[in-house]
A and B are shown apart, each in its own frame.
Chain A
Amino acid sequence: MKWLRDNLFPGWVSGVFSALLIVILAKSLFAFVDWAFLEAIWRPDANACRAAKGACWGLITEKHRFILFGTYPYEQHWRPAAACVLLIALWTFSAFRIFWRWWLALVWLGGLSVIGALMWGGILGMPYVENERWGGLILTLLLSTFGVAFAFPLSILLALGRRSDMPMIRALCVGYIELIRGVPLISVLFMASVMLPLFLPSGMTIDKMVRAQLAIVMFAAAYLAEVVRGGLQSIPKGQYDAAHALALPYWRRTWLIILPQALRVSVPPIVNTLIALLKDTSLVLIIGLFDLLSTVKISLTEPAWNGFGIEAYVFASLVYFVFCFSMSRYSRSFEHR
């Protein structure tokens, strides 16, 4: 009671505002609960849905497997499901500092091989599935995972290059970063998808998924590079002096002294960029890949379910939110160390 009085109603002006806000929040909450639960239809019955006033979760009930796994063969859905679980487990495992050892790389290598085996199949009695048919959540997660894995080291090199004493290297890195940052991701995706094949020798093709992945890596690396550069700039000159005075050569100095400190201060903006990266993978729908958001869109094209976009997008948002929010919480725990 005291807390209420002190914080919400300390004077009559803020009191009125508090009361007003409480009323608005309560009304919206009731309306939402009413729509999402009380009046909602859970059966996959489009006609019942049209009659009802509430949400039509029946759409999700019927379409959730397509939304989550895309055009992957229906009876094989356990494979992308297992791959998703495995990938999430790998990330969770890597979140713990005590596992930050050299063998963590081996764990990832092993884990990703198993994921590859699951997804492609062709061994252990699992029928082969070409990656044109991969889709939904696992595509989003894989694009993000490989996006981070390649973009992050690349971004560190770009950031170091941008601060290099060598004019050629510096110019190249600045040029790359500014060029990529200056164009929308969609155009990078288009370039990778449409123009890249034109430059390849005839007969050689690169898989569409790899092309999209390449575009995402290139794009994320440019953004991350600027974040890392910010961290590098926060290192006091005295640290360089001390490293020089101890005769540490460039790469050891960078690896042992500068980067550990620079990356630590960059954790919040790095996570910020990674969250953006995860959500940006949804743009691959533009070049015909079926990630989580594309599968939602496609499932709405069926005439019976036309017009229930809100429910489908709420569902997709919820999935994205779970991942992004976990990342955000994790980075918070990092800052408070």
Chain B
Amino acid sequence: MSAPMIEMSQVNKYFGAFQVLKDVNLAVGRGEKVVVCGPSGSGKSTLIRLVNRLETHQSGRVVVDGVELTEDPRTVDRVRREVGMVFQSFNLFPHLTVLENLTLAPIWVQRVARKEAEETAMHFLARVRIPEQAGKYPSQLSGGQQQRVAIARALCMKPKLMLFDEPTSALDPEMIKEVLDVMVELAREGMTMVVVTHEMGFARTVADRVVFMDGGRIVEAAPPADFFSAPKTDRAKLFLSQVLGH
């Protein structure tokens, strides 16, 4: 069996005196889809932001695709080139067109020729079903379209692993589906994915494992069928009743 894509062991993380992550252990295999859920403030966003070192951890080990993340900027750079990320607030570059958003990193980081980068960009725009928006600026698109552009932007770097940090939380209800559809499709193609989300329907369809966090700890990790039908802890039961309760 090959080494896991992500391996976190005994990870601790503090914001000042406040401990956000407590002795976190998590391994994500290649091709595995993991959904991370839990009440707000439980450390889920921080957890996935550690994976491409948007946050630093104070102790423990974070290894991504065989590279341990350390102070050495080269390890960070290597990992970031392999890992795509999608944010809650899209974070598209507002001064660039959709096409420029997509080709920026391939051209300036991977040194791909412009023409080739544009072809790749158009390919992924078609995959997220908005090729006709290539010349527009992000502010001219709806939230759902912007998030799909953000997904395409991450895919243009041909990542081995995709991180999603509450990708549908900032969207109007009618746009959530169009983004989730793209993500489901991506999952079917075998992408390794770690998704922080409250969309339990998505977790049921796609996830191999659901990780439930509370108070900076991973409280439960189980296949969705088990997690939803028979949560082991009271906190998970309470959380599920709040999320699924109506």
Interface residues of A (CB under 8 A from B): 236, 238-239, 241-242, 244-249, 252, 256-257, 260-261, 264
- Mark each residue of chain B from 76 to 90: 1 if its CB lies under 8 Å from any CB of chain A, else 0: 010011011101011
B109 A248 Cβ-Cβ under 8 A = yes
A245 B93 Cβ-Cβ under 8 A = no
> Measured between alpha carbons, how far is A236 from B157 in the docked complex, in Å?
23
> Measured between alpha carbons, how far is A249 from B83 in the docked complex, in Å?
15
Chain A CB within 8 A of B104 CB: yes
> Measured between alpha carbons, how far is A236 from B95 in the docked complex, in Å?
13
Q: List 14 A-B contacts (CB under 8 A).
A: A238-B90, A241-B85, A242-B91, A245-B83, A245-B84, A245-B85, A245-B154, A246-B105, A246-B153, A246-B154, A247-B80, A248-B104, A252-B109, A261-B95
Chain A CB within 8 A of B52 CB: yes
> Measured between alpha carbons, how far is A84 from B37 in the docked complex, in Å?
67
A311 CB to nearest chain B CB (Å): 49
| List of B residues within 8 angstroms of A242 by Cβ | 85, 87, 91-93
- Interface size of B by CB at 8 A reads 24
> Measured between alpha carbons, how far is A179 from B94 in the docked complex, in Å?
36
> Measured between alpha carbons, how far is A250 from B230 in the docked complex, in Å?
48
Chain A contact residues: helix, strand, loop or mixed:
helix
> Measured between alpha carbons, how far is A233 from B105 in the docked complex, in Å?
23
Q: A242-B91, A242-B92, A260-B95 are in contact. Are A248 and B108 (CB under 8 A)?
A: yes
B168 CB to nearest chain A CB (Å): 16
> Measured between alpha carbons, how far is A323 from B17 in the docked complex, in Å?
55
A247 B87 Cβ-Cβ under 8 A = no
A238 B83 Cβ-Cβ under 8 A = no
> Measured between alpha carbons, how far is A242 from B109 in the docked complex, in Å?
13
A238 B77 Cβ-Cβ under 8 A = no
Chain A CB within 8 A of B1 CB: no
> Measured between alpha carbons, how far is A155 from B54 in the docked complex, in Å?
28
A247 B81 Cβ-Cβ under 8 A = yes
| List of A residues within 8 angstroms of B83 by Cβ | 245
Q: A241-B54, A242-B87, A256-B104 are in contact. Are A249 and B77 (CB under 8 A)?
A: yes
In the A-B complex, the 6 residue pairs with the closest CB atoms: A247-B80, A242-B91, A246-B105, A238-B91, A245-B85, A247-B81
| Interface of chain B residues 98 through 118 with chain A (CB within 8 A) | 104-105, 108-109
